Amino acid sequence: MRLIRKQSVLRKAVLLVLCLALLLPQVSLAAKKKNTNTAASDIRVHLTRLNLSDEAWMTLEGRYLAQCADGPEVLLPAGAQITVLLRNGKMVLFHNGLSLSAGKELKLLRRCDGDTEPGIRFNLQSGVYPGDLTLTVKDGAIRPILTLPLESYLKGVVPYEMSDSFPLEALKAQAVCARTYALSKMNPSADWDVVDNTNDQAFKGIPDNSENASLAVQETEGLVLTWDNKLITAWYSASNGGQTELPGNIWSGDNIPGCFAMTDDPWDVQNPESTVRTAVLQKDGSGLSAGFLRLIRTALAKEPKLDDFRLGEKDEIRVDAIRAVQLTTPRYKAPSRLMTRLELTVSLSAVLKEGRTRPDTDEDELNISDILYPDRTAEPTATPAPAGEGTPELTPAGTYTAVLDLFPETVFQLGLSVYGADNEIITLSEDETSFTLTAGRYGHGVGLSQRGAQYQASEGKKKYTEILDFYYPGAKLKRYTGESAAPPTPDPLLGQTPGPIPTATPRPTLMPVTTAEAGLPEGAWLASVENIDDDSSLNLREKPSAGSKVLRRLYKHQQLIVLEEAEVPGWARVKTDVVEGYVMLSFLQKTEQE
């Protein structure tokens, strides 16, 4: 009996050793690769781009341990294809015929196999997501949060924030900015540190072909930007339009470091890949849109000297000549070149509708002076205002100066909107036949310009340290050793780089649209929101204007009833069962009624 007992104990000991052998190599890869030269940091990323609702499909590259809130731990092999479904408010994990109740939280934890970094590939996503994945049930949907080493995270940011084809020195500058920004956003008290869209930084996993971006991360490992020994929030944007912006003009607060300046950026302007929009105003007044002519008429109608302007509501004006164009009224103090007004000196004619004519002619075109002074055969000369009186001086009849607010309507009507943030920097040039307006700036314009950095680094012009010195003058480049960051400042809409607004639910519920019983209104048709990115949204506005109040954000595949095309070209009035408003037609696709 003693022998049998000894053998039984021996078997248990052997089994225990084998179990320990299986568990011992399953240490965190992040811990194994801790770099003694830098403070190791894991970052938590809310994966909004996956748009998960009630299911997630994954392939594991490396072994993972599944920890379920309502079940046992399961070791999943490399190459495992797993599915997580949300059923009755709880998750169920499926793998190779096995189903496992996971409850409201499921963790997939990396298990190290040599030097290979385990990762996850999500269905329809091209990159691999290295790290530990936590899935929770939040607001009726699956919420994914990935925890991974900071340097691995950067390899999935740099090639998307720039491009792997950018010069290496530009990619290095981007890597330093992205690392500094990420560390400044670390918040242990929150559920995550950053989101994976451009409200923080674009992250789509590590692409298969991003050697240059990965090299840029490796060659700048641990390097960050500081001011007074604190991390800065290293803001950057795609293009600044030729002048860097001051953070204080975008964000509130008094904790913004002093390494930002309003500086002309010739590199951004010279880069042929910088996004710009142009509008050509012919001096003979030809080619102006009806919407732009309405803006001119509205501006002129506000002038006291035109109180006797006798145009009816349906009468039109025609620009016979554009005499002068000026950009005026900078939004911020000097040296800001962000102008907010456009002044046009124009010669006009009137086009009368509904059979209205001058008493002594059958022609339907009149000079404005004939309408203002119908009983005179000659145009009056300018009459100065009496001293001490507020009567305005009359300009020569037929020539007027219209002062237009550039944002939002004029920029929209002229096709000068680059990003839709109403902060484009617009410049003016003139030749013998026309005036040309050119608009640039994609994003807030603070800090590094990605297009400017690209051009600085092209053909070996500048090193990454010189690029950083230009965009963050006075900031110190040093290796991160746990420096704190200045308290964050709330980001308004303009402060966000282009991208969708993060929501608590990765894929919001689409609004219902009822059409079967009553049918569509006369002339209406069905459409859906399709021409946007999967992780983006379309603004439903109160009026057909890019500057109008946003009523809701519409998500991809949202069905709409298009009631009519708006008077403003390119806009349509639409409705759902919940709300009615205006959207841009270019983002809709017509659908057939079922």
For residue 323, pLDDT over 70 is answered with yes
Examine residue 353 and state whether it is found in any structural domain, yes or no.
yes
CATH code for the domain in which residue 556 is found:
2.30.30.40
- The predicted model gives 241-253 an average pLDDT of 90
**pLDDT score of 581:** 93
**pLDDT score of 374:** 43
- The predicted model gives 64-73 an average pLDDT of 86
Provide the residue range defining the domain that includes 454: 167-275+445-497
- What average pLDDT does the chain have? 80
- 195 and 308 housed in the same domain: no
- 473 and 329 housed in the same domain: no
Cα torsion 436, 330, 264, 447: sign: negative
- The predicted model gives 69-89 an average pLDDT of 90
- 309 and 408 housed in the same domain: yes
- 308 and 408 housed in the same domain: yes
- 415 and 461 housed in the same domain: no
- 226 and 173 housed in the same domain: yes
Which amino acid appears at position 485 of this protein?
A
- 171 and 236 housed in the same domain: yes
- The predicted model gives 135-144 an average pLDDT of 94
Which amino acid appears at position 505 of this protein?
T
How far is residue 110 CA from its own chain's centroid?
32
Conformation bin of residue 62: beta by default, left when phi > 0, alpha when psi is -120 to 50: left
Q: What is the DSSP string of 302-337?
A: TSGGGTT----TT-EEEEEEEEEEEEEEESSSTT--
Query: What percentage of the chain carries pLDDT values higher than 70?
Result: 76
**pLDDT score of 377:** 40
- Rounded to two decimals, the pTM is 0.72
**pLDDT score of 533:** 67
pLDDT digits (tens, 9 = 90+) for 431-440: 999 999 999 9
Q: Which of 173-177, 221-225, 305-309, 418-422 has the lowest mean pLDDT?
A: 305-309
Q: How far apart are CA 78 and CA 118, in angstroms?
A: 8
2-to-8, 9, 85, 111, 560 alpha-carbon distances in Å: 10, 10, 52, 40, 80
Q: What is the DSSP string of 289-306?
A: -HHHHHHHHHHHHTSGGG
For residue 494, pLDDT over 50 is answered with no
- 483 and 549 housed in the same domain: no
**pLDDT score of 516:** 54
**pLDDT score of 545:** 81
For residue 247, pLDDT over 80 is answered with yes
Q: How far apart are CA 194 and CA 318, in angstroms?
A: 53
Q: What's the domain count of the chain?
A: 3
For residue 161, pLDDT over 70 is answered with yes
Q: Could you tell me the pLDDT band of residue 353, with boundaries at 50, 70 and 90?
A: low
- 313 and 449 housed in the same domain: no
